[in-house]
Every structure is written in structure tokens, then in C-alpha cells.
Amino acid sequence: MAEIRLEGVAHSYDGGKTYALNPITMTWKDGKAYALLGPSGCGKTTLLNIISGLLKPSEGKVFIDGKDVTDVVTDDRNIAQVFQFPVLYDTMTVRKNLEFPLKNRKVPRAKVAERVNEIAALLGIEKDLDRKPSKLRSDLQQIVSLGRGLVREDVSAILFDEPLTVIDQNFKWTLRNRLKRLHLATGVTVVYVTHDQTEALTFADEVLVMDQGSLVQAGTSESLFLEPQHEFVGYFIGSPGMNFLDVEASSSVLTHNGKPIGKAAKAGLNGSHRFGVRPEFLVPSKSGLEFKIDRVEDRGVFKLVHLSKDDFKFIAKTEESYDAKVGAKANFSFDAKRAFVYDMNKKAVSTVSPSSAGGN
Amino acid sequence: MDGKKKNNRAWFLVLPVVFVVAFTAIIPLMAVANYSLQDIQGASNRLFVGLDFFKRVATDPNIQDAFTRNLTLSAQILLIQIPLGIFLARLMPRSGWKASAALVVVAIPLIIPWNVVGTTWRIFTRSDIGLGGVLVNQFFDYNLSEDTTDAWATILVMDTWHWTPLVTLLVYAGLRSIPQAYYQAAAIDGASRMAVFRFVELPKLRRVLMIAILLRFMDSFMMYTEPFVVTGGGPGSSTQTLSILLTTIAIGQFDLGVAGAFSLMYFLFIQIFSFIFFTVLTLDERPGATKVTPKEKKAAKLAKEPKQVRSKLEKVQK
């Protein structure tokens, strides 16, 4: 069990021309479950491979429990990694698979047998020990490949690299719960890479959202949803994503094409910005902006109302009872704490309250 | 049943192939079968002799010798070329222009026409003017038209030069298809290079190696060109392969009956060998071919019995 610290870790695959991972400094606390969330190619796997030691970062240092391990090879780092698909030695039985990492490290035979039985009991695969892994269901195969990482004593951390990718739909949920339970039972630090927000939000204590090689926001699933500090978080988390609109700020008053949208809480805001509000917080009201209803998606428990006004479109997520008529005019306002204004670096600078002028 | 009539008209699409195969393979083969069962002197003069020719082939000492010789040759070729091919494939760069360059270099022997290969090697191995022949002669006496060992070694080297690239390319393709994650997992597990080869690469190469071994066995067992152009089967009959002997019997001695029986037996041997080889190696990939341990068998048998009987049986077994 260990605390992992990254100091200015960055990586470039082409000798510094482009960076797959921009400098990151952060600490992964002992025993916590983290999720790395982001689209394909955002640097999640690169970051993971740097932690496990499969990749040496071009810049920066990696510390495990305060010890600099930047130059320590993978096999001395005591890190378990589970890949996108079950990686197993097909010619060996499940038992041999579990023994393999210990035998490679010349652990005494009696100790090997003891550890293997312990881990098999923990994973609930005792009865499958003498079978070939190819005869197991895919979620169990993934459990076995996790077991190969756990079988070593004093595992510092478990890294999951999109472990549910090839698992049958029916077993995804079971496997995720099982992994979660294992995390609680072992108390090992877990880093879970995924591009599926549901997976990330339900699995982890803290979710780190990545985009284009940078960490854009870290926080609980709640804070990522309620207070997206970066445009990407607003867009990537939530379904559908945040509504955005180019606005011009003048002494914190936000206008779009000269028409008032709202007022930023932070004083003295000027220049081009982007305004963002989640569909959940765009609510029907007497005052507020007047939209035309283009289309209504009835999702059973809620409605997605597609709105348009002048040259932009918004989506509002309303209660099922909301009476939306296509083509009709409707007024929508937003919650003052839940609307944000972002600067040109896509970072949130302030919350926005609805314009008192309202209407047109 | 869904009540629909099955539409079998697609079979017509197979007809052209049947036609072509009939004229290129089946009818010629039937002619061979004809010659092997009858002593044919002319169009109207023939005599059914049954299995006589087959018996003669089976007992002919020349053919027996050639058979043993050819099996030895094939075995040596497989023992040299398969490990060498794997070794070379593992040395080849995995990406970038170096990978492309290596592929081109490795493939060169494969794309040279057979007769060119023969002529090249004939000149190359001449002990008076050939580059290879003269070079080897510096170290020890080399003359492939007099020394049987020299002739045999030359054939082996030539075939290795010509066909190891095929094994290398197959294995290279196999290696490239192994996902990186396997190597990463092995690194995390602390596996040595040897262990990575033994437990990751070799199992994943099984299918490609099977194809490589089959192709190399069939090709080497039917080897004709190499000895024909370089040694002519000699000195004596030291490099006479089955193909060369067969040609001598059929065209040289015009003994068509024996040659026909010989051809069929030759053909069947390769077929049967390849079939057995393939079946044995793919045994555990067949559905339902899981190995069942006696213990599991017992448990399965037990599970079928009614409950009361089962508990009794269990007690007895204990």
C-alpha cells in the first residue's frame, strides 16, 4: 500500500515535438480509488504506464511512498496492472498463472502455494484453479489477470486500464462491483482508467478528468457535475453535455449579439468568453430568455427540450410533466450557482446569474 | 422449419471450379490410378494386374532408400529452418523503415525464379570458379560432384537459404500480431526473456508454426529442383530425392505402372502425414474436446444419479 506522487511528470513519444502528456504534479493518496476519465488519446494510458513503470517519463519524477522510483523498472515496483482485455498465459492453468510472478521472483514453493490459495479465496476462484483460463468466462478471466498482480505481497497499487472493454454487457456490472469490493477488502490504492463516465463516477472516490494530455479537473463525481471548472468537463460529463454560447463581457455583463444573457459574479470581467449551463439547470420560468421549442425528446422519466433562439441552440432537461409544444415560445432561466462563464483557456472564471433584464 | 424451400442454386456457382479442378487434378490423377492398376502397353493392349505394382514399389530397395533419405532430409530441414526462422524473426525490427528494409531483404530468396536459383547455385558452388565453392575450398576439400557429404550439405544449405525466409515471414507476422499488453504484463510479472518466449510468444505462434512446419514438410518431401540442377541426385544416389527417383522411373525408364503406383503412394503418404499432424496439433481447439480428468468424470457421473443414490455413492466413495 502506498502513496504515489508525480512531480512535473510529462511524456513525449516523439522526442519533444508533441506531448502526449503535459506536466502533471499530483498525489494519489494511499488506499483511495481514483478514476482517470477522458476520451481516447487523451493521455490516460500514458499516465498509467508511467506509474507502473512500463514507460519512463520524458520529464519529471515518480515517487512511491516518498521513494524516487523514476528509474526503477516495472518488475520492482510492486504494481498490479489489468489491461483492456484479459492478459493470461494460455498454456498454463489458472493456478500456474497465479504462481508465475512469484516463481519468477524465486519465492519459496511453500510460500507460493500459500499466497495463491489466499488470493484465490479472496477473488473467489478456488474452484477454477486447475482449469485453463480460456475455459473461463471473460469477467473471470479478467479477475484472474488481476489476481496475478495481487499475488505478490505488499502490492503498492492496482492500475486498471479500461478493464471492462471486452466484458459481456451482462457481466460488466457484476465485475465492476467485484472490483469495487476487492478495493475495499484490500485497501490498496486503485487507479481506474476509463472513458465511460458512469464507470468512473460509480467506481472512484475521486475522478480526474483528462483532455489532450492535461488534467483538467479532479474531484468527486458530484463536484464534476455541479461545478465543472473546465469546458471539457462540462461537455464530457453529463448526458447530454453542457450548453455553451459565445458571449462578450463588459464590466461582467454578458451579452450575445448585443442581447443580455446574464451577469458574472466576478467583478470587472471584459472581453470574449463562453457561457455554459447544463441542461439540468436550464429551467422553465416566467422570466428569463425566450426560446422557440424545436423538438422534444420524451425519455420517459424526463424530457429533453431542444430550444433555439436567434443563432444558437440549447437543450433543456425538464421534468416529465413539463408541457412542451413544438414550435411554441417558452421562457427558460438558469440557476445562478449552476451557470458558469469560461475564459478563452476554457477555464471557469465565475458563476453567472440570470440577467435581470430577461426577455429579449 | 420455416416452411421455405431451400434454394440450392448457389451450387451452380461452384461448377466452374469443379470443371477446372477436374481437368487439372482429378482426371490426371485417374490416369495415374489407371496406370498403377493395369499394365498398359498400348491403347488396346492392357492387362489388369491388381496391386502388383504397389507391391513392387513397397519392396523396391531403391525406392525404400530414397524414402528414408527423403525423410531424413525433411527432418533435418525442419530442425534447421524452424528454429532459425524463429530466431531471425525475433531479431527483425518491429517498426519504421528498418522493418520494411528487413522484410525486403528477407523476402529476396523467395521471389527469385526457381531456374535462376538453380543456375546461380550451380555456379556459386563450383569448386573452380564459384564464389562459395572456392571460398569453402580454402578451409577444406570441397567437391560436390565427388563427395556425398559435400553434396548433401550443399542441398541443405541451399534449401535453408531458399526457404527459411518463408518461416521467418510467417513467424514475424505471428509475432507482430501479439498485443503489446502481453509483453507489458510479462514485464510486470518479472518474466525473463526466455520465459516471455516460452510462455507468451511460443503459444501465440502455435498456429503459424503449424502452417510453417506443414508447408516446409510438404515442400521438402517433394523437393525436386534443388538436387536436379545442382547435383542431379548424385554422386551415386546420395542426394536422390523421391521426386527425382520418380521422374527417372516414369520418364527415364518409362516404367509407367510402377511410376503410377509410386505416385499414388507418395501422394497418400504426404496427405496422411499432414492430416495426422494437423489433427494432433489442433486437438484441443475442437469444440467439446476438453480434457476431462478422471476426477471430473466421476463427479459428472455422480451428478446424473438421483439424489438418494448420489448421497449413498458419495459415502461409499469416502
Residues of chain B positioned with their CB less than 8 A from the CB of A91: 199, 203
Q: CA of A99: how far to CAs of A121, A158, B12, B60, B180, in Å?
A: 14, 18, 57, 57, 22
Question: In angstroms, what is the C-alpha Rg of chain A?
Answer: 25
A81: chain B residues, CB-CB within 8 Å = 184-185, 188
Q: Does A86 touch chain B (CB under 8 A)?
A: no
Same domain, A217 and A304: no
pLDDT for the residue A170? 80
Compute the distance between CA of residue A236 and CA of residue A195 in angstroms, rounded to an integer.
10
Chain-chain contact of A85 with B290 (C-beta, under 8 angstroms)? no
Last residue of a domain, one of A199, A231, A263: A231
The answer to whether the peptide bond before residue A228 is cis (omega within 30 degrees of 0) is no
Task: Give ranges for CATH 1.10.3720.10 in chain B.
Answer: 69-241
A-B C-beta contacts closer than 8 Å: 54
Interface mutation vs chain A, best among B188, B284, B292, most A CBs within 10 Å? B188
Question: Same domain, yes or no, for A243 and A202?
Answer: no
> What CATH number does residue A20 fall under?
3.40.50.300
For the ranges A213-217, B105-109, B269-273, the lowest mean pLDDT is seen at A213-217
Task: Return the minimum-mean-pLDDT range out of A65-74, B42-51, B245-254, B291-300.
Answer: B291-300
Q: Which residue has the cell 469490493?
A: A181
Residue A87: give the domain boundaries. 4-231
Could you tell me if A54 lies within 8 Å of chain B, comparing CB atoms? yes
Residue A351 sits in the same domain as residue A257: yes
Q: What is the pLDDT of residue A213?
A: 85
Q: Which residues of A touch B192 (CB under 8 A)?
A: 104
User: Is A21 in the same domain as A139?
Assistant: yes
Residue B304: its pLDDT value, please? 52
pLDDT at B76: 95
* Chain B CB contacts of A73 below 8 Å: 187
The stretch B52-72 carries a mean pLDDT of 87
Q: Which residue of B has its CA nearest to A82?
A: B185
Residue B105: its pLDDT value, please?
A: 92
B194 Cα to chain A: minimum distance (Å): 11
Mean of the pLDDT values across residues B214-231? Answer: 87
d(CA B135, CA A314): 83
Mean pLDDT across chain B, nearest whole number? 83
Check if B195 contacts A (Cβ < 8 Å): yes
pTM of the model: 0.73
Query: Which portions of chain A are predicted below pLDDT 50?
Result: 357-360
CATH number of domain containing A270: 2.40.50.140
Nearest to A104 among B179, B181, B195 (CB): B195
Task: Kindly list the residues from chain A whose CB atom is less than 8 angstroms away from the CB atom of residue B199.
Answer: 89, 91-92, 100
Do A310 and A163 sit in the same domain of this protein? no
Name residues whose C-beta falls within 8 Å of residue A268's C-beta, 6 or more positions apart in sequence.
A251, A252
Per the listing, cell 507418395 goes with B266
Instruction: Say if the Cβ atoms of A90 and B203 lie within 8 Å.
Output: yes
Q: What is the pLDDT of residues B288-314, one digit of tens each?
A: 544 555 555 555 555 555 555 555 555
The number of residues making up chain B comes to: 318
How confident is the model over B220-235, as a mean pLDDT? 84
What is the pLDDT, as a whole number, of residue B163? 92
The answer to whether residues A34 and A149 belong to one domain is yes
ipTM of the complex: 0.75
A144 vs A135: CA distance, rounded Å:
12
Q: Does one domain contain both A103 and A251? A: no
Check whether residue A126 and residue A215 sit in a common domain: yes
pLDDT above 90: percentage of residues in chain B: 26
Q: Domain B69-241 sits in which CATH superfamily?
A: MetI-like (1.10.3720.10)
Q: Distance (Å) from the C-alpha of residue A102 to the closest C-alpha of chain B?
A: 8
163-192 in chain B: CB under 8 A from chain A: 179, 181-182, 184-185, 187-192
A56 touches chain B (CB under 8 A): no
